[in-house]
Amino acid sequence: MATVQDIHYKDSAAQTAQAAESIPEFQDERMVLNMGPSHPATHGVLRIVLELDGEIITKADPDVGYLHRGDEKIAENMTYTQFIPYTDRLDYLAPLANNVAYALAVEKLLGIHDKLPPRCQYIRVMCAELARISAHLLGLGAFAMDLGAVTVFLLIFTEREKIYNLAEALCGARFTTSYTRVGGVMRDIPPTWLDQCQKFCDEFIPALNEIETLLTRNRIWVDRVRDLAVISKQDAIDYGLSGPNLRGSGVDWDLRKKQPYLCYKDLEFDVPVGSVGDCYDRYLVRMEEMRQSVRIVQQCIKKMPGGAENKSKEPFNYDDGKILLPPKEKVMTKMEELIHQFMLVTEGMNCPPGEVYFGHENPKGELGFYINSKGGGVPYRMKIRAPSFVNLSIVPKLFQGNMISDTVAILGSIDFVMGECDR
Amino acid sequence: MVLLKNLDLETKTRICELANIVTSQDAANKLKAKFGDLISELPIFRGELTVRLTDAEKITEVCLYAKNDLDFNYLVDITGIDNYGDDPRWTLVYHLRGLGHGCEVRIKTDVSEEKSKLPSVVSVWATANWHEREVYDMMGIHFRDHPDLRRILMWDGYPYFPLRKDFPLAGKDSELPGVAFTQVTPMAGGPFVTVAGGNSAMAREPRIRIPETDSIETMGRLERRKEIQEAHGHPKGPGPIERK
Amino acid sequence: MQAQSEIGYNSKIEGDVVITTVDAALNWFRKNSVWPMPMGLACCAIELMAVGASRFDISRFGSEVMRFSPRQADCMIVAGTVTYKMALSVKRIWDQMPEPRWCIAMGACASTGGMYRSYAVLQGVDRIIPVDIYVSGCPPRPEALLDALMKLQNKISKTPVVENLTIMNLKKAAA
């Protein structure tokens, strides 16, 4: 635990306070402040107990679990398909990405995650990248709003509404989409969807540039977040950080490049890596990741097998009646498909016994599903490795020695979501 | 074996290439070479290598070796599994990854129910701290030498371990803590505290309180209220509007 | 006695003077400036933020000031799953809100526990606080939340304020 004596302050008021520490009459007890679960700037229900010495934090103890809903135990009682809506609500800023992650994990258990039809892969990649843009936007907006830049919050919501429109056109729900299924997706993309995505990409980059002009070289912003809460490379690896937090500290680790899945091998994109590891770096990494995601989406639009309207009838689901619900025309007319439908709905797909772990590059970090199956349609144990849970564990270390007003900046730059952290 | 922990990532990658950790199989072979009978390999399933450690007490040693000599510097996850009805009841699964060589290895180890204890790996990876707290919270497995083993997702004082197979999904009756937070928020003698109870919002309102004169203050307030009563003839005085 | 919710006003006859009942006036003030206290717990909080953003502007209903302090808010919008661990905080904050206060339970989780029938989730926030409006949806569309706000405004306009005060004061005098 860093003591106050070890810290060298830059401003004179703090130096005076530190000097006063040595005078016995001024030595006070530490004050304990509760940054409660209901707080405008804790990004959800997070409680942190701060021990303060004046304005400086000497000890911080995060208290999570205020949104613990028992997802893992629920998973032990549901078939794999029935659990998909619960995955939406994990990282609720990017539901499409969670859906893709979960579907890939169950498909790995079945052994088909690398045998999906190309159209399905491209659709899923587009979903994941749009979700990444959406999540980074809101993370950025909340971060900026907490530090006072309220305009940014309203600007990003305009862009997020456009992504909501895309999601709604895709599957009917703007927000908690439940779009993917094990073995494919719920339905093919609508004919005009790719045009809508292209239009979004064209409008998004100028909007992002506008947001950057407000923040990136803004004197107040830079003063508040630069050189704050530096996470060293060694610490980032030791504490298990992932996603932009890890890359902001200079570790070049992105699951899309290092353990490629879906069709990321065929797509060209760069992975931004920071150099210093402070809050400003993490902010910059996220901004650049959004641009790279737009690049990926545009490539997918051009390369989509079958094109926008799928005139060549490319399959978008894995063709196996034992895994995915067969089309209704066949269910109503043929016996085999009827039996498949019945078994899938009542018992779920028959997964082999075994265990898999699949890590997916979610906007917040590495979302991993560890599925331990003893056969049958219901998992025996499902563990959700939530990036926000792991990212939050470094918070006590980051808070020490910083001031109360820095807590908001640090929490915003770590960018966690309590739905995921507590499951 | 060279101690890799003091070197940076680039040097380590080069050394690992020299040490020939190219696949997870290499890592498993080296583990077997070092620990002999303690390590047994399970069949590769879906491209993932799993290794079983027969003695859970050695987990810290094995992990330390994996981190320092095999450069598995990233702990992805610690999971606890309840094999209800089987003995040993608990299985712990550690997912290890090396960012330098990109290989992954899964180490499984069993703990019996009577014991329910094993050493902590917090000294190897700092991230194990919260993972082990969660395993303790959900399953009730204790980790020796853990700096701060307390509940993380449920509230302190929750009497059950929810992810055990004999715990029903709907939950069991338990007492909610009597205060909003797990520990009584320490006032540190500070001001602005809502006084519980009181007939009206005015009585509950926080005022600047000085602990030594607290009782005098309350008595003073009560007397003042009596004065208002007598002056207006109403038992409660012109109090705030209360909804019926 | 039903509170009169209309403010009868004809500018040609009355000019700049409005004649109405105290009830209607008080309720008109209250309903058009319902300041929400967003108890944003989970995913519904994101839709609540979307309602506050520019597309589904909540400020045209007078509710743009989202006060995080319960002392300054009128309506608590419980948006998201209430777990048992969080329940006491919600109750405490509800207690701190001064009257008149209302509650909107937004979404399935706040209304009835939603799809989380598990050991850690409070099956509906109405188990601990009195709820005025329930909004269904998971999450409810922003239009649904605005509809709920309009229904709340309707409810407020029908509240007999003066009558309550009169009866209460009479009771006090009698006791």
Range list of β-strands (E), chain C: 36-40, 75-79, 102-106, 133-135
Residues 6+ apart with CB under 8 A from A334: none
CB–CB of A70 and C138 under 8 A? Answer: no
**Measured between alpha carbons, how far is A56 from A33 in angstroms, rounded to an integer?**
12
Look at the block and give the residue holding tokens 């159209």.
A119
Give the predicted TM-score (pTM) of the model: 0.83
**Measured between alpha carbons, how far is A112 from A357 in angstroms, rounded to an integer?**
14
- A376 sits in the region (left: phi over 0; alpha: psi -120 to 50; else beta) called left
* DSSP 8-state secondary structure symbol assigned to residue B107: E
pLDDT tens per residue across all 423 residues of chain A: 455 556 666 666 666 666 666 665 555 667 788 887 878 766 788 888 888 877 888 888 898 989 999 899 888 888 888 899 999 899 899 899 999 999 999 999 988 888 888 889 999 999 999 999 999 999 999 999 888 888 999 999 999 999 999 999 998 889 888 999 888 888 888 989 999 999 999 999 999 999 999 898 989 999 888 888 889 999 899 999 999 999 999 999 999 998 888 889 999 999 999 988 899 999 999 999 999 999 999 999 999 888 777 777 777 777 777 888 888 888 888 898 888 888 888 888 888 899 999 999 999 999 999 999 988 888 999 999 999 999 999 999 899 888 888 888 999 999 899 988 988
Burial of residue B3 (CB within 10 Å: 0-12, 13-18, 19+) is exposed
Residues 6+ apart with CB under 8 A from C167: B244
Angle of CA points A62, A67, A68, to nearest 5°? 95
pLDDT of C75 strictly over 80: yes
Q: Which of B172, B176, B194 faces C88 most closely, judged by CB atoms?
A: B176
**Measured between alpha carbons, how far is A336 from C20 in angstroms, rounded to an integer?**
73
pLDDT at A168: 92
Nearest CA-CA partner of B79 in B128, B27, B15 = B128
Is A207 within 8 Å of A159 (Cβ atoms)?
A: yes
Nearest CA-CA partner of B133 in B144, B124, B143 = B143
Asked if C89 reaches chain B (Cβ–Cβ under 8 Å), the answer is yes
CB–CB of A157 and C121 under 8 A? Answer: no
DSSP A57-125: EEEEEEE--TT---HHHHHTTS-TTTTHHHHHTTSTT-HHHHHHHHHHHHHHHHT-TT---HHHHHHHH
* DSSP 8-state secondary structure symbol assigned to residue A357: E
- Strand, helix or coil for residue B178: coil
Nearest CA-CA partner of A417 in A8, A45, A35 = A45
| The residue type at A351 | C
Phi, psi (rounded to 5 degrees) for B66: -65, -40
Which of B138, B154, B172, B179 is most worth mutating to test chain C (most C CB atoms within 10 A of its CB)? B154
- Closest residue in A to C90 (Cα–Cα): A38
Residues 151-170 of B with CB under 8 A from C: 153-155, 162, 167-170
For chain B, which ranges sit under pLDDT 50?
A: 1-4, 18, 179-193, 197-198, 208-213, 236-244
pLDDT at B179: 45
Q: Which of C39, C43, C139 faces A38 most closely, judged by CB atoms?
A: C39
pLDDT at A362: 92
Reading the block at residue A276, the tokens are 């210093």
Q: Which residues of chain B does A70 touch, with a Cβ-Cβ cutoff of 8 Å?
A: 162, 169
The Cβ-side half-sphere exposure at A236, using a 13 Å CA radius, reads: 28
